[in-house]
Chain A
């Protein structure tokens, strides 16, 4: 299975050099992981849509393209470069959300919804919302590890590259984060009587 990070650094170097095909491919490859990162960090907003997170992801992609000429292959991995930009954009979005009182509504396309039904979807949304609340109670480092490892779907090695950690350190951090989540989940289920 090919890692999403594989070849990104070389691709970024070519894109930074003005290769339009490389720019296009780079954008195609980083966009999904940026979207997941922003969704994992920002969650659903407004009426339960990922509108804000997806908008921020778009801004991150544009910012990455603008910053490409400044990227140097000898420095940090390109994923760390991307997630660094994304973290700043997410922080800006959090600040902006505190001032924004609008409730954007996504335009629903006329196509089949192949996902779960309303009841299962509501349960899943409830569980996702609970998980999001538990993540806020983790330490920033553990939260970032869980976001990249589970939310974005990176391997321990890729997460380590993005965060400047070793894979072993990531595994230990995720183990501690899981333990903390288990404890918090137990408290949560005790509260709701499950």
Chain B
């Protein structure tokens, strides 16, 4: 049986005083077919019936405890979708996609976390390397990140080691070794800032004062070359030639030095000779001798 819903053709908005039985029955069959109460094949040519059908479908869609069928009757025993035997097959792909998305999200969180930790760790290492000493495990990092600081630290460490070696050699009576160590320390001290250089020079001077007079005039307090730089020119006494050998007794006077050969270093010839020799052989600048001589 086919039921065709058709407009009645009556004026819009008018209520029939006496509607025809056929029209009433036809509309009743249309609605029954719309609800699935009959097996009639209804064709929705009627715009009003089309709208009613859409409205009906919207109502029963996603119905809680309902059939989910737009044209189905209300159930005698409503099927519960989660456990109903005739319920829709569960979608397995979406949970898997969700799980994959969660795993990807987890990996992203891990990678981001490691990146943050690495960045934070690198910043911490860089900060710690700023004050690392040459014997520190972080010193290679310091040499890369702070090359200037690393150079200063290396010179400071080398100068301190030379001064310590010089002190040890002086205690053991190896004055020549001590002087050589002090000369090496002086090379390193030149690269240090003023504060660090002043401390090391003071320590070096303390060691130097304890040395016996050297054959070349170095090592005796007041006469040996000091690590302290001086703008003045060196005194004429210092010489490694032996021609102007300083005498401890004469050191305070700064004059009257006598060479082993009996020459008086205060003479013009001796002074000129000593100065010439000093200029040729001095390793550490020429302005140190006068300060020590003045002491």
Distance, CA A10 to CA B25, complexed state (A):
31
| B294 at interface, CB cutoff 8 A | no
Q: Is the CB of B90 within 8 A of A189?
A: no
Q: Is the CB of A150 within 8 A of B52?
A: yes
What residues of chain B lie closer than 8 Å to A110, measured between beta carbons?
Answer: 94-95, 98
A residues contacting the other copy or chain, number (CB 8 A): 53
What residues of chain A lie closer than 8 Å to B63, measured between beta carbons?
Answer: 32, 35-36
Quick one: which of A96-112 are within 8 Å of B by CB?
110-112
Partner pick for B35 among A125, A130, A153, A184, CB 8 A cutoff: A153
What residues of chain A lie closer than 8 Å to B253, measured between beta carbons?
Answer: none
Partner pick for A28 among B61, B73, B78, CB 8 A cutoff: B78
Q: Is the CB of A36 within 8 A of B59?
A: yes
Q: Is the CB of B54 within 8 A of A180?
A: no
| A82 at interface, CB cutoff 8 A | no
Quick one: which of A147-180 are within 8 Å of B by CB?
149-153, 155-156, 171-172, 174-176, 178-180
Q: Is the CB of B94 within 8 A of A112?
A: yes
Distance, CA A35 to CA B63, complexed state (A):
8
What residues of chain A lie closer than 8 Å to B84, measured between beta carbons?
Answer: none
Q: Is the CB of B48 within 8 A of A127?
A: no
Of B4-12, B202-210, B215-223, B236-244, the stretch lying at the interface with chain A is: B4-12
Of B14-22, B105-113, B179-187, the stretch lying at the interface with chain A is: B14-22
| B64 at interface, CB cutoff 8 A | yes
What residues of chain B lie closer than 8 Å to A189, measured between beta carbons?
Answer: 47
Q: Is the CB of B56 within 8 A of A35?
A: no
What residues of chain A lie closer than 8 Å to B55, measured between beta carbons?
Answer: 40, 127-128, 131-132, 135, 150-151
| A21 at interface, CB cutoff 8 A | no
Quick one: which of B67-102 are within 8 Å of A by CB?
67-68, 73-78, 88-91, 94-95, 98
Q: Is the CB of B57 within 8 A of A124?
A: yes
Task: Report the minimum CB–CB distance from B31 to chain A (whole Å).
Answer: 6
Partner pick for A179 among B8, B52, B65, B94, CB 8 A cutoff: B8
**What is the chain B residue whose CB lies nearest that of A7?**
B76
Q: Give a binary string over A31-43; 1 marks a CB under 8 Å from any B CB, 0 the rest.
A: 1110110011000
Contact (A178, B54) CB under 8 Å given A31-B65, A150-B31, A153-B35:
no
User: With A171-B25, A187-B12 given, can you name 19 additional A-B contacts, CB distance below 8 Å?
Assistant: A39-B59, A50-B62, A112-B90, A125-B58, A127-B55, A134-B51, A150-B52, A151-B59, A153-B35, A155-B37, A171-B24, A171-B27, A174-B27, A178-B31, A181-B52, A182-B8, A185-B51, A186-B7, A189-B47
Interface of A toward B, CB cutoff 8 Å:
1-2, 4, 28-29, 31-33, 35-36, 39-40, 44, 50, 54, 110-112, 114-115, 124-125, 127-128, 130-132, 134-135, 146, 149-153, 155-156, 171-172, 174-176, 178-187, 189
Can you list 25 A-B pairs with a CB-CB distance of less than 8 A? A1-B73, A4-B74, A31-B78, A32-B74, A39-B59, A54-B64, A110-B98, A124-B54, A128-B58, A150-B35, A152-B74, A153-B35, A153-B74, A155-B37, A171-B25, A171-B27, A174-B27, A174-B28, A175-B16, A175-B19, A175-B27, A176-B19, A183-B11, A184-B13, A184-B48
